[in-house]
Homo-oligomer: A and B are copies of this chain.
Amino acid sequence: MLYGQVHLTLPAWVHDAVDTARTYPRDEDKVTLAIALSRGNIEAGTGGPFGAAVFGPGDRIVAAGVNVVLPQHSSLAHAENMAYMLAQQRLQRARINQDDSGTRDGPYTLATSAQPCCQCFGATIWAGIDRLLIGARADDVEALTEFDEGPLPADWVGELERRGIAVVRDVHREGARAVLAAYGSGGGRHY
């Protein structure tokens, strides 16, 4: 008998923590939400210290994600991947910024509290976003926590930009680092 269902769930507290009525116009507004999700996730004990969100036309939120790897038994369930999967299932499209006939809208932006690891880098190539906003650097993650970011192409920023994905780094880097530091020093349950 094969196991036939993958089921992943956004923790319940995220629904209360995200204001879907407002807009998030600036890059800093978008990353501030991703960092708040990363902090909320360690405070609630629902996963690792990472948060992300997809924003669409009008700077409105399309989907939010947090790391639920250990509690939901899925190495795929990083914050960025959760946000991508939830955005795609909500929009009923395999690529966020185009329908299955190739008609595009947007722009769509992913904001993430920390640089995507090797897995989320690869997922970002196919997810269908136009902009990627990053808080903490990979070096911050590896210096402040026990997490490993994995092997990336040497010019990972260039690989994204050549595929039409603009990359902005160090947005509220210090705020993102503070959550990682709190987690690394035992401020949250270890996932």
Contact = CB atoms under 8 A, between A and B. Distances in A.
A121 B117 CA distance: 12
A73 B92 contact: yes
Contact residues on A (Cβ < 8 Å of other chain), bracket: 35 or more
Interface of A: 1-10, 14-15, 18, 20, 61, 63-64, 69-70, 73-76, 81-82, 84-95, 100, 117-123, 125-128, 150-154, 156, 159
9 contacts: A2-B86, A3-B90, A4-B86, A5-B8, A6-B82, A70-B100, A74-B85, A74-B89, A122-B123
Copies of this chain, complex-wide, total 2
A74 B90 contact: no
Contacts of A89: 3, 5-7, 73-74
Contacts of A150: 122, 125-126
